[in-house]
Chain A
Amino acid sequence: MAQAALAPRDAAPAVFQTVRTPDLHPRPTKVKADTVKVFYGQKQALHGVTIDIPEKAVTAFIGPSGCGKSTFLRCLNRMNDTIDGCRVEGEILLDNRDIYDPSLDVVELRARVGMVFQKPNPFPKSIFENVAYGPRIHGLARSKAELEEIVVASLQKASLFNEVKDRLHEPGTGLSGGQQQRLCIARTIAVSPDVILMDEPCSALDPIATAKVEELIDELRKNFTIVIVTHSMQQAARVSQRTAFFHLGTLVEEGPTDHVFTNPSERRTQDYITGRFG
């Protein structure tokens, strides 16, 4: 107990309050995080993040490098489990069910909470196999025809089908960067997740490819709950409905994107989005 009184060296301020601005017309909550703390060994990366992520909307996490936004994102599908020495405290509810509950299978969770990564990472297999992989391992298709149907539908939803319909059996790694990223999105939505996490999905893409992916995100939000981490504030402003600003492992401010980008309530948010940090 005596040790607990000693604050870690690089701890965030002991008392901090997230500034929250509610939506004018609040949406139902899909993911509810309550005082999520993450430790990497001795180092604390997140100092208690509490946030409600609305259903069928895009929530953007912004903040400087190392602010914990990606760490928090990776808590939402327990991707942090794969890192040695990573410990998560607090509670994350997906549809009111604790995702860290031992009774919940992490494989099932990751099927329900899909993830798209920073660098397009298609498997070195054919385009078809890339998309079919998820449905196959989860047994979502009962027949070959059904599998094909899922693949085509996913590619269509990822607005990639028209570009690749003639070469479904060519390697996915042969596509351009933007196409690869959309292939990864197709791969993710092929297992019909509830939530799609995107970890800087456009940071490796050129502006045109970025625009296509953003267009796609806007389209996908009708059916999926999307959480996106981005370094581009313009992108956050363009694609998201709600924005959360992280700084030094704390959630500083969260609110409707329109509000955060024109008139943030927190001084640190303002400084960050206007480029006054440091």
Chain B
Amino acid sequence: MTEHTISAYEAELRHLAGKIAEMGGLAEQLVADSVQALVRMDTALAQRVVFEDRRLDQMQRDIEEASILVIAKRQPMAMDLREIVGFMRIANDLERVGDLAKNIGKRVVAINSSIVQKKLMVGVEHLAEIALEQLKHVLDAYANRNEALARQVRERDDEIDALYTSLFRELLTYMMEDPRNIGQCTHLLFCAKNIERIGDHATNIAETVHYAVTGSMFETERPKADLTSEQAIALPG
């Protein structure tokens, strides 16, 4: 793509794109750390996640301000306008991702000492793996303006939703088996929900990428496989 006639404009856009990349990296890191903390019950790591999230919030505010300034100063058009709107939306999503990671971190601190059953953790870990992968892919898709990859991410959200639904049932089963598990399982359920939400934000970002690149919205409603909110849960036996 040819550069803008006004070099300062070009520099501003580059700066913002760099900020988004940085923010993406940080968000990714926070999610990975929070899941790590959960799996290992590493309270210190969890606390660091909670602390680091502030930086993410700050970055989001910075990006928003800078974007507004660019809009005010340059009146961007077409691709540039979409890109800037994309900056703001992606920053927003990433900030939310950070919040969700922080939430997981907080729950790790809350669960704390209690020994968590390994088998409960496996499902959550797998879910987190896929969510992280989604996040990573969507950030790659953004960095490379890869619309196909973004589409892939969006379609794969089904998988997370499905996984979450099965995890939900699994945890429910545990809770019914042994009421002592209820506390732990509830925390885990929320963590799983948070991870599932992270996947949703990845999808959002994928949509933003698609819009920024093509200028059009995705034609159909996003596939939705998280049916827990819609289904009546039949309590087993």
A contacts B directly in the complex (CB < 8 Å)? yes
B78/A276 in contact, CB under 8 A: no
> How far is A273 from B9 in the complex, measured between Cα atoms in Å?
14
The reply to whether the CB of B223 lies closer than 8 angstroms to some CB of chain A is no
B78/A270 in contact, CB under 8 A: yes
A275/B78 in contact, CB under 8 A: no
The reply to whether the CB of B113 lies closer than 8 angstroms to some CB of chain A is no
The winner among A234, A274, A277, A278 for most chain B CB atoms within 10 A is A274
Interface string of B63-95 (1 = CB under 8 A from A): 000000000001111111110000000000000
A261/B78 in contact, CB under 8 A: yes
Chain B, Cβ-Cβ closest to A264: B78
Tally of A-B Cβ pairs under 8 angstroms: 42
A274/B82 in contact, CB under 8 A: no
* Minimum CB–CB distance for A133 against chain B, Å: 38
A274/B4 in contact, CB under 8 A: yes
With A234-B75, A262-B215 given, is the CB distance from A275 to B9 under 8 Å? yes
* Minimum CB–CB distance for A160 against chain B, Å: 29
B4/A276 in contact, CB under 8 A: yes
B215/A276 in contact, CB under 8 A: no
B76/A274 in contact, CB under 8 A: yes
Interface range, B side: 10 to 19
* Minimum CB–CB distance for A76 against chain B, Å: 26
The reply to whether the CB of A175 lies closer than 8 angstroms to some CB of chain B is no
B77/A273 in contact, CB under 8 A: yes
* Minimum CB–CB distance for A122 against chain B, Å: 31
The reply to whether the CB of B235 lies closer than 8 angstroms to some CB of chain A is no
A261/B77 in contact, CB under 8 A: yes
The reply to whether the CB of A271 lies closer than 8 angstroms to some CB of chain B is yes
> How far is A115 from B129 in the complex, measured between Cα atoms in Å?
66
The reply to whether the CB of A233 lies closer than 8 angstroms to some CB of chain B is yes
* Minimum CB–CB distance for B208 against chain A, Å: 14
The reply to whether the CB of A263 lies closer than 8 angstroms to some CB of chain B is yes
The reply to whether the CB of A36 lies closer than 8 angstroms to some CB of chain B is no
Interface string of A243-278 (1 = CB under 8 A from B): 000000000000000000111100001110111111
Within 8 A of A (CB), among B169-225: 214-216
Chain A, Cβ-Cβ closest to B75: A234
With A261-B77, A262-B78, A263-B78 given, is the CB distance from A277 to B5 under 8 Å? yes
The reply to whether the CB of A237 lies closer than 8 angstroms to some CB of chain B is yes
B3/A276 in contact, CB under 8 A: yes
Residues on B with C-beta less than 8 A from A264 are 78
> How far is A278 from B214 in the complex, measured between Cα atoms in Å?
24
Chain B, Cβ-Cβ closest to A259: B215
> How far is A136 from B79 in the complex, measured between Cα atoms in Å?
50
The reply to whether the CB of B232 lies closer than 8 angstroms to some CB of chain A is no
The reply to whether the CB of B233 lies closer than 8 angstroms to some CB of chain A is no
The winner among B75, B77, B79 for most chain A CB atoms within 10 A is B77
Residues on A with C-beta less than 8 A from B234 are none
* Minimum CB–CB distance for A234 against chain B, Å: 6
Chain A, Cβ-Cβ closest to B80: A274
B82/A276 in contact, CB under 8 A: no
> How far is A269 from B79 in the complex, measured between Cα atoms in Å?
11
Residues on A with C-beta less than 8 A from B74 are 275
> How far is A277 from B2 in the complex, measured between Cα atoms in Å?
8
A274 touches which one: B78, B214, B215, B216 (CB < 8 A)? Answer: B78
Within 8 A of B (CB), among A191-246: 233-234, 237
* Minimum CB–CB distance for A257 against chain B, Å: 11
B1/A237 in contact, CB under 8 A: no
With A263-B215, A263-B216 given, is the CB distance from A278 to B78 under 8 Å? no
Residues on A with C-beta less than 8 A from B115 are none
Chain B, Cβ-Cβ closest to A271: B2
* Minimum CB–CB distance for A266 against chain B, Å: 11
Chain A, Cβ-Cβ closest to B85: A262
- With A262-B78, A262-B82, A274-B78 known, 5 other A-B pairs at CB within 8 A are A262-B215, A264-B78, A275-B5, A275-B77, A276-B4
Between A and B, 5 residue pairs with Cβ closer than 8 Å are A262-B77, A262-B78, A262-B81, A262-B82, A274-B79
Please provide the 3 A-B residue pairs with the shortest distance between their CB atoms, ordered closest to farther: A263-B215, A273-B77, A276-B2
